[in-house]
Amino acid sequence: MSAAPTDFKYVWLLWASTFMLPWMILYIFAPAVRRLMIRASLATAAFGLTEPFFVPAYWNPPTLFELAQRTGFDLESLIFCFAIGGIAAVSYRVFTALPDAVMDHTLRQVGRHRWHLAALAVPFPIFFLLVFLPWNPIYPAILALFAGALAAVLCRPDLLRNSLSGGVIFLALYFVFLLGLRWIWPGYIEAVWNLPELLPWRPMGLPAEELLFGFGIGLYWSCVYEHVAWRQGQIDASLHSAVG
């Protein structure tokens, strides 16, 4: 797959940077989740270093200093991953205002709760086991996210609502941003994405894989905080107390 035309040189940088706008809005107007946003963003920024798996097999965007074409890495991916991680981790908490409470210490050692760290780690071995198979690397990435969300919910069934809410909210945001990319820079998707290797189904001209990726990001990252901080919905906490 050849590189896109040079007139698209700064599109990836501009598009990745626009995700910082909702990130900043959330950070400014939702101070209660600022620490969570920073931690999630720093964690997901590291995933920008996986770009060599995707260039040029999945896409081949022009980048600053032609870094992606020379090394496989690029600065834009770090910005993109930083922004989407923070957004996905907190957007459901801001828009749904789901109440929560700290899980009782005794419950943390009961049954499936003991596996919460293992559940969170599920996407990593799955991705690195599947990415070397003869298929496009975007599919291992999508499957890893969905598997991580499923493992998190199996470990913590009370997080199902959080996960689905986060998935839908982030998918909606990501869909709007993809449409903006298509409308503002016509021809960019066709020039940059390796469409012949992807699914022929493209809603409104958008790669279906991108929509699945966006949904997976929201599904998985929206329940990471509850696992790490041992948070649970107040309704679930009341039920546990009543049973105890």
For the segment 78-126, what is each residue's pLDDT rounded down to a tens digit?
999 999 999 999 888 888 765 565 555 555 556 555 666 777 889 999 9
Mean pLDDT for all residues in the chain: 86
Contact 12, 76 (CB under 8 A): yes
Find, among 224, 222, 231, 225, the residue nearest to 107 by Cα.
231
- Give the mean pLDDT of 42-55: 94
Residue 71's SS3 state is helix
Q: What is the pLDDT of residue 224?
A: 80
Residue 242: band (very low, low, confident or very high) from pLDDT cuts 50, 70, 90: very low
Q: Is 203 left (phi over 0), alpha (psi -120 to 50) or beta?
A: beta
Contact 222, 88 (CB under 8 A): yes
- Give the mean pLDDT of 166-184: 97
Give the global pTM. 0.87
Work out the percent of the chain whose per-residue pLDDT is above 90: 64
pLDDT digit string, tens, across residues 144-159: 999 999 998 888 887 8
Q: What is the pLDDT of residue 243?
A: 33
